[in-house]
Amino acid sequence: MKFTDLGLDERLLEGIDAMGYEIATPVQQQVIIPILEGKDIIASAQTGTGKTAAFLLPLMHQLLTHPHEAHDINAMIIVPTRELAVQIAETMEGLSYFTSVSSIAVYGGGDGTTFSTEKKALTHGVDIVICTPGRMIAHLNMGYVKLKGLRYLVLDEADRMLDMGFNDDIMKIISFLPKQRQNLLFSATMPAEIRALADVLLRDP
């Protein structure tokens, strides 16, 4: 299946072209249209399958084609590690090159300058936030994160997050989010813990 058959915005097709993608991978073929239709998703997909673009492209399409609050965070992607956050931010940069969609990666380990850069973006609004759980909670606890307009939540490598003991952190972050939102859960494996999380989190996935 070609990307042009998926109904994606022209500006995204330019980004896809610049990244050198021609054919949508199986996970992209399976999830992009349901995400565009507003459905909650649970997908079993490992790194290397093209899962990142599978959720970034439809999210960006929705932000480009639907009116939304420019000064709010519109989508949050929670990931287990800073390496994955950086990797997703890089893919995002490539795919969004011809668009006005903004994003920031928020993860632990940087110095005070990094924290204040993150604080500024989270206070003034940025379309897509890609974050690790602990660092996001540090910001959320300070009360300035603009979440009222948040409409999309992605949990990426959810099984790894549970293995790393992030279950309570994820539930805490979710407690800050508006209830009306679309939820996407990606996991390499589907153990009972992931199914339990999906039961709590997803509506008719």
Residue 108 CB contacts under 8 Å (≥ 6 apart), including other chains: 82, 132, 134, 135, 138
Q: Which is nearer to ligand AMP, 52 or 183 (CB)?
A: 52
Task: For helices 51-65 and 10-19, give the axis angle rounded to 10 degrees.
Answer: 150
Query: Which part of the chain contacts ligand AMP (CB under 6 A), choosing from 17-25, 68-76, 100-108, 135-143?
Result: 17-25
Among 35, 40, 51, 73, binds ligand AMP (CB under 6 A): 51
Residues 133-172 that bind ligand AMP (CB under 6 A): none
Among 1, 13, 14, 25, binds ligand AMP (CB under 6 A): 25
Q: Which two tokens stand for residue 46?
A: 């490992």
Our finding on whether 50 is near ligand AMP (CB under 6 A) is yes
In angstroms, how far is CA 200 from the centroid of its own chain? 19
Within positions 69 to 128, which residues make up the interface with ligand AMP, using CB under 6 A?
Answer: 91
Residue 52 interacts with ligand AMP (CB under 6 A): yes or no = yes
The site for ligand AMP, by CB under 6 A, has a size of: 14
